[in-house]
A and B are shown apart, each in its own frame.
Chain A
Amino acid sequence: MSQKITSYPGHEITPDELKEGKYLDVQYKFVPRYSWAAGVAISRFLDELKEGRIVARKCNQCERILVPPRMYCEQCYRPTDEWVQVKDTGTVNTFSISHVGTDARRLKTPILVAVVDLDGAGPGMGILHNLGEVEPSRIRIGMKVQAVWKKPGERQGAITDIRYFKPMEV
């Protein structure tokens, strides 16, 4: 049928037409605000971050140490059993250098982001965070990194209490 049809429906608005304001443009701005409940597991996680510690939950059945922590193991489908502290060092699992911000605008300084597999957690248990104090071209998968924390008085109980991860001094 596609070769029998001669015209495909649709009216495009070209970038030039957009600029010249050829079509009616009705604008609506609003800012929904949210207050999300952190939940049982993450509430404790954030409390511990404020103290400069990273905690995880252990599932005694599959023996995985889960971070970010959760009150149920999604594989065994049962409640997790105990709180465990994990180290604030880890290995870079994958990384990227981002030149665009949240709204797709180009950034002057690129953001370095990585998935860091934490030491002491189960295999492949990573968290998303930024990298810092490192030349972008020197970042490698498998690189050992350690967390750089905010000063105790500055911490709020947020993921940003860790400023970033930097290469571990050898």
Chain B
Amino acid sequence: MKRRVAIVGAGITLFRRRMLETPKELSFEASKMALDSAGMTLKDIQSVVSGSAPDAFDGVHMKGEYYLDGMGAIGKPHERVYVGGGTGVFTPIGGWWNVASGLYDTCLCVAEEKMSPLHPHPQYAFWSIFDQILERPLGTTLLWIFSLEMRRYMHKYGIKEEEIAEVAVKNKGNAIDHPSAQLGAKISVDDVMRSEPICEPVKRLDVSPPSDGAAAVILASEKVAKKLTDQPVWLDGVGWTLDSTHWTNRDLAYPEYVEKAAKMAYKMAGIKNPRKEIDVAEPYDPFDYKELHHLEGLQLAGKGEAPKMTVDGVTQRDGDLPVCPSGGLLGVGNPIAAAGMMKICEIFWQLRGEAGKRQVKKDARTGLAQAWGDLMQVGTVAVMRS
């Protein structure tokens, strides 16, 4: 018999290309901010769940063991979880188990990422994502999988690059109002189309940047949450699914694993008609076409129909289904694990009406955050309600 879990506090650092802080200090800044926002101290936290991408980025072996004092995890039960970019939403899912099972009443969930130490460019570590025998000798870069997927998606549904560019325009514009944002800016579809091609059809303004940053949330059981705040945000549905690394054998135009993860979360939260019942969504957008790809996987748009929703303005902050009101990864930044957690924090603030200039127009009661990662493999979904 599982218990209801609430999110009671959230914290986030700046997201920038290079930060002075060490991983311990970044974790501390986000964790302390989350504790202060909930009116709690470290003594109130019973367990810690952390998420961070592979050690190859910041060059510290066993980094879960390294940064844990920045998360106040000394002497406490601590687990590190990781599923590539999906980690940011997988971390609170890991924390959810801790509280829903009845084992603990409170859990601090922190996602931290420091990508800047790797030279010449953080992207280089992704080279090892490919099969060492059959793929790396061909001169692979991470961008290949995105551009191959984008091309197939555009081909299957007849989508134009201009329609996809609308997502970059929307998200970077939304990010101007996010205090942590790295790349908030007012750009046009023309700017995107004229930006230099990196790996066709992907162009410079279609991509999110590598970043350093950390974000944290605090989970609590129903009993504790009601004592701490009169506005808990309930983590009502969680779902996660992975697919195989034989990605060349899959249909690249549709993320089936995101659909399965979403259905798992919807079933748990009792959602029968996602398009009607979800008020605000934060799907994972490392590339602009990915937001559309994921909206379809999350059953929030029919196959091939997400571009039209964007062009029609449905996904703007004042639209019927606001998507990425935070500015997403395209605008705020992409520290691999912390990016998904940034989305969880955003839904938390949106459902409490605390998002300031980013607050969506409609009365948001149910929100969704989704992250994705690895070799186009994992979907992690969280459904939250106020």
Interface residues of A (CB under 8 A from B): 1-5, 8-15, 18, 23, 28, 34, 36, 38, 42, 46, 66, 68, 70, 74, 93-105, 111, 113-115, 124-130, 136, 141, 158-160
Contacts and interface: CB of A to CB of B under 8 A. Distances in A.
Contact of B18 (A12, A36, A103, A124): A12
Contact of B179 (A8, A15, A96, A125): A8
B134 A127 contact: yes
B95 interface: no
Contact of B148 (A4, A94, A160): A94
B155 A94 contact: yes
Contacts of B131: 68
Interface of B: 9-10, 12-21, 26, 29-30, 32-33, 37, 59, 116, 120-121, 123-124, 127, 131-135, 137-141, 143-144, 147-149, 151-152, 155, 179-180, 196-202, 213, 244, 246, 248-252, 345, 349, 352, 354-356, 358
A5 B37 contact: yes
B138 A93 contact: no
Given A46-B133, A93-B152, A104-B124, A98 B12 contact: no
Given A2-B355, A141-B151, A100 B18 contact: no
A124 B244 CA distance: 14
Contact of A42 (B133, B147, B246): B133
Nearest to B156: A141
A130 B141 CA distance: 13
A98 B135 contact: no
Nearest to B9: A1
Given A12-B18, A23-B20, A98-B144, A38 B133 contact: yes
Given A1-B37, A2-B356, A99 B133 contact: no
B148 A96 contact: yes
A2 B143 contact: no
Give 4 closest A-B pairs by Cβ, nearest first: A10-B14, A3-B356, A96-B147, A104-B121
Given A12-B19, A95-B151, A101-B139, A68 B134 contact: yes
A70 B133 CA distance: 14
Nearest to B251: A124
With most chain A CB atoms within 10 A of its CB, the pick from B148, B202, B249, B354 is B249
Among A2, A98, A124, A136, the one with the most B-chain Cβ atoms within 10 Å of its Cβ is A2
Contact of B21 (A10, A70, A94, A114): A10
A136 B200 CA distance: 10
Contact of A10 (B140, B202, B213): B213
Contact of A128 (B138, B200, B213): B138
Contacts of A34: 132
A115 B253 CA distance: 13
A161 B201 CA distance: 28
A23 B21 CA distance: 11
Contact of A96 (B19, B134, B180, B200): B200
Nearest to A122: B249
A11 B21 contact: yes
Contact of B246 (A8, A68, A103, A141): A68
5 contacts: A8-B179, A10-B26, A13-B116, A98-B198, A159-B135
A103 B199 contact: no
Given A9-B29, A12-B20, A100-B143, 5 more contacts: A9-B33, A36-B133, A97-B199, A99-B196, A160-B137
A114 B155 CA distance: 14
Contacts of B21: 10-11
A111 B349 CA distance: 44
Contacts of B17: 12, 15
Contacts of A124: 249-251
